[in-house]
Structure 1
Amino acid sequence: MRSVQPVTAPAPLVPTTLETAAIVGRLTPPRRAISGTGLRVFPLAVSARWFGSTISDTASGEILDAYRALGGNIVDTADSYADGRSEELIGDWMRRRGNRDEMVVATKVGKSTAHPGLSAAAITAAVHASLRRLGTDRVELLYLHLDDESVPFEETLLAVDELIRSGEVRTFGMSDHTGNRLVAARIACALLGVAPMTALQNQYSLMRREFEGDLAQVAAQQGLAVMPRFPLADGFLTGAYRTRADVAASPMRDYLGAHLGRRGRRVLAALERVAAQQDAPLAAIALAWLLTKPGVVAPVVAVGSADQLFDVMTAPDIRLTRHQLAELERASA
């Protein structure tokens, strides 16, 4: 008599981020305006900081696919990221998907080894090199990646204005400049009659709130679109790094260690309470808090894989109560 072999039930299929997006969908992806430019962007930008270095070429494409499927339309990179490889991967992806006109590309110049600094020659050469790597004829948003005080603002601003007039750059912003330097740049733009800056990218998160001083005041006065960098404090606000052992395993360990104190524990505890009330991930709550801040348009979020995007991309849909906002404010003070 033939023995009957037991039937093994197939393992349940776990939907991918893209499949989930197709099922759930977004009827009207929320967009925020970069004032004075006509650009409207999803309230979270995807960072290409690690594309081509710690994130593989394949994984980079998967992240961009998932981000686009979930309604995203702004990608943030720089000519210095992976020595330009980050820009190449973005350009390859846009060409394969045929979606260049649907994307807002933000890149930065000033820190690359090939074209360092913000002289007119360096800026022009750097932007042209970025355009070649991106495989496009323009970038929507160009950041000055550093404050190069060795070059007069007039020279830098005239070079940027020439790129805007030629159509190679749509608008520009600054990164890591002080409030005084932002004021000086705005005055120089007015005196020269050149295109004004429209965006600002600085560190800003529940763990880094220095922005809320003079910089926030200047940004508000000038109507700048604030695009916070490291909005999850190098990953600390995801809740994944709570001990020295956790931090030691991260490529961001040199930065994460600074958060492992009493204040960090207090912030994570507050995030956990609010996350439980909202039935949302800690990272989404941290981003939702940031999106309530005046002038904030699109925090720049880095993820390590496509599946990590689903959690953070829910942040714009979260509505924190006044009590929850106050709790997060107190914990991070």
Structure 2
Amino acid sequence: MEYRNLGNSGCAVSNLALGTMTFGDESDEKVSFAQLDRFIEAGGTLVDTADVYSTGISEEIIGRWLKDRPADVTDRVVLATKGRFPMDDTPNGVGLSNRHLTKALHASLKRLGVESVDLYQAHAWDALTPIDETLRTMDGFVRAGLIHYYGFSNFTGWQLTKAVHRAQALGLAAPVTLQPQYNLLVREIEWEVVPASLDAGLGLLPWSPLGGGWLSGKYRRDQRPTGATRLGEDPDRGVEAYDRRNVDRTWNVIEAVQKIAEGRGASMAQVALAWVTDQPGVTSTILGARTLEQLDDNLGAADLHLDAEEMSALDDASRTVVGDYPYGLLGVQQRERKITGGR
């Protein structure tokens, strides 16, 4: 396992993180405990959860694991959770207001059985709460010792930049991370989100690095998935729905990943994870395994680095179709001052 600073903080974390959205849902407590044990044994440190994962059960499982393990094990854990989405149907039971985040954080701390968490993340933008209120709330949590750092998840480029500059203007603690969806099938964040994060010194914590399992090679062209897989159980599942991703570009990417995996003697999942983990600004890539076997395979990517030719082949196969301007060739040339003029 390798270690990198958590964004612009001085806290070091493993370059692979253990995501726990499956805990209490797709992974029972026994499997969840086994995943946590294996992750720590492999040198992993960053464990990421959220209050809404299995409606609090994921945090409770982690809390029981922390209580059951000796201090020399649990002291290695850099613990991250999130708040924003509803845990009940009350009018103020959602959002990034001081009222809701304060209640949400204290509830998370209770479920986790800890006095503080290392990283607390706003799970998504809230259009109804002024960002200044959210930032002051996060700053208050830091000052009270309830959290050590804070970050965001699922923010767009302009939302991230606004939050960073408002925190600076108000003299508040600065965010250190952003958690976006990022993988070989979803590269749109490279247009604005990645540059904004690099400019602010924030570390990226990519979620869904395997595209919901697509990049592990488990699905086949024109053959709807069946059986005990995420899409086998629910083909219309979220952003990775089969009909949405069953397009030529997806299969071109999968073919490129498979070719490199065969040449490396590695799994397709390991190659896809290695690509994400070595992208600019990435601090730690979040693994989302359902089983211990999947986690073992994913952990094999911890020390895998693709060479320039392999990275280029994956970049070419996965390049997002975009117009010439402002994100295409003409826009890039202009920003890099390779062309002059403009309008």
TM (norm. structure 1) is 0.89
Q: Which runs of no fewer than 5 residues in structure 1 stay unpaired?
A: 1-28
Is the contact between residue 74 and residue 104 of structure 1 (CA under 8 Å) also seen in structure 2? yes
Is the contact between residue 237 and residue 268 of structure 1 (CA under 8 Å) also seen in structure 2? yes
Look up the equivalent residue of 2:241 and give its one-letter code. Answer: L
Query: In 1, Cα distance between the equivalents of 2:315 and 2:233?
Result: 27
Query: In 1, Cα distance between the equivalents of 2:285 and 2:277?
Result: 8
Where 1:317 maps in the other structure, the secondary structure is coil
Residues 56-95 of structure 1 mapped to structure 2, 5 A cutoff? 56-95=28-67
Q: Does 1:155 align with 2:133?
A: yes
Q: Which runs of no fewer than 5 residues in structure 2 stay unpaired?
A: 320-343
Residues 119-138 of structure 1 mapped to structure 2, 5 A cutoff? 119-138=97-116
Query: In 1, Cα distance between the equivalents of 2:305 and 2:54?
Result: 37
Pick the aligned partner of 1:278 from 264, 278, 285: 264
**Residue 238 (structure 1) aligns with:** 216
Shift of 1:245: 3.0
Is the contact between residue 200 and residue 227 of structure 1 (CA under 8 Å) also seen in structure 2? yes
Where 2:282 maps in the other structure, the secondary structure is coil
**Residue 318 (structure 2) aligns with:** 332
Shift of 1:327: 0.8
Shift of 1:42: 1.0
Query: In 2, Cα distance between the equivalents of 1:56 and 1:35?
Result: 32
Shift of 1:248: 4.9
Pick the aligned partner of 2:160 from 179, 182, 193: 182
Name whichever of 185-194 and 196-205 sits farther off: 185-194
Pick the aligned partner of 2:284 from 288, 294, 298: 298
Query: In 2, Cα distance between the equivalents of 1:248 and 1:215?
Result: 28
Q: Does 1:111 align with 2:85?
A: yes
- After superposition, the C-alpha distances for 1:281-305 in whole angstroms (9 at most, x for unaligned) are 0000001011221100111110011
Query: In 1, Cα distance between the equivalents of 2:288 and 2:95?
Result: 25
Name whichever of 142-151 and 33-42 sits farther off: 33-42
Query: In 2, Cα distance between the equivalents of 1:82 and 1:50?
Result: 8
Structure (1 or 2) with the larger CA radius of gyration: 1
Look up the equivalent residue of 1:117 and give its one-letter code. Answer: G
**Residue 241 (structure 2) aligns with:** 256
Query: In 2, Cα distance between the equivalents of 1:286 and 1:193?
Result: 40
Q: Does 1:51 align with 2:51?
A: no
Name whichever of 31-40 and 204-213 sits farther off: 31-40
Is the contact between residue 200 and residue 219 of structure 1 (CA under 8 Å) also seen in structure 2? yes
- After superposition, the C-alpha distances for 1:88-145 in whole angstroms (9 at most, x for unaligned) are 1001111111233210111010013243111101111110100000000111111101
Percent identity reads 34
Query: In 1, Cα distance between the equivalents of 2:305 and 2:21?
Result: 29
Name whichever of 246-255 and 307-316 sits farther off: 246-255
Query: In 1, Cα distance between the equivalents of 2:234 and 2:53?
Result: 15
Where 2:241 maps in the other structure, the secondary structure is helix
TM (norm. structure 2) is 0.86
Residues 13-52 of structure 1 mapped to structure 2, 5 A cutoff? 29-52=1-24
